[in-house]
């Protein structure tokens, strides 16, 4: 099992997903590592692994468009565009939804299929797992 260095998630071998639950303020400094699970992906050698992010614990966002653009550009180098990665984001408010939507617009042409929602069931269905497996 790969444990997140930010104590926000883990790689779940039983369902084949990276599951991440960051909390607090989302800033440019931690966006690249938490949003893409970069450390966990590289350590596990799982560049093409699907992922689920529960962002309901994000309390504020301190990001600029350039930060999100840079993340999408850097993540492209990690991925094989011929094998898209599924990334689902559970959100609790419009601010987080809008930020992830901006990321979605930038990354989808770079090998990541992004789904965003306020409910866990449709995200779990897209990932091919039971909703209960994604609940804490």
Chain segment 27-78, per-residue pLDDT in tens: 877 666 665 566 666 666 666 788 899 999 999 999 899 988 888 877 777 6
**Domain-embedded: residue 105:** yes
Is residue 126 packed enough to be buried (19+ CB in 10 Å), middle (13-18) or exposed (0-12)? middle
Which pLDDT value is given to residue 34?
A: 61
Counted domains in the chain: 1
Collapsing DSSP to helix, strand or coil, 134 comes out as helix
Which uninterrupted H or E stretch holds 122? helix 120-127
The CATH number of residue 23's host domain is 3.30.750
d(CA 81, CA 79) in angstroms, rounded, equals 6
**Domain-embedded: residue 48:** yes
Which pLDDT value is given to residue 45?
A: 67
Containing structural domain, residue 110: 9-134
**Domain-embedded: residue 3:** no
- Rg of the Cα atoms in the chain: 13
Of residues 41 and 135, the one with the higher pLDDT is 135
pLDDT 10s digits, 112-132: 899 999 999 999 999 999 999
**Domain-embedded: residue 4:** no
User: Is residue 99 scored above 80 in pLDDT?
Assistant: yes
As given in the structure block, the two tokens for residue 4 are 């997140």
Pairing state between β 50-54 and 57-62: unpaired
User: Model-level pTM?
Assistant: 0.86
Edge-to-edge strand list for the sheet holding 85-90 = 9-12, 17-20, 50-54, 85-90, 112-117
């Amino acid at each position: 099992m790969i444990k997140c260095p930010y104590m926000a998630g883990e790689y779940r071998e039983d369902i084949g997903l990276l599951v991440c639950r960051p909390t607090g303020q989302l800033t440019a400094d931690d966006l690249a590592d938490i949003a893409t699970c970069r450390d966990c992906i590289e350590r596990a050698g799982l560049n093409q692994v699907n992922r689920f992010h529960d962002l309901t614990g994000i309390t504020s966002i301190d990001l600029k468009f350039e930060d999100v653009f840079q993340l999408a550009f850097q993540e492209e180098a990690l991925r094989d565009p011929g094998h898209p990665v599924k990334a689902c984001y559970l959100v609790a408010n419009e601010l987080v939804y809008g930020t992830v939507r901006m990321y979605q617009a930038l990354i989808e042409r770079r090998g990541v299929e992004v789904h965003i929602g306020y409910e866990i069931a449709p995200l779990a269905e897209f990932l091919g797992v039971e909703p209960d497996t994604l609940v804490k």
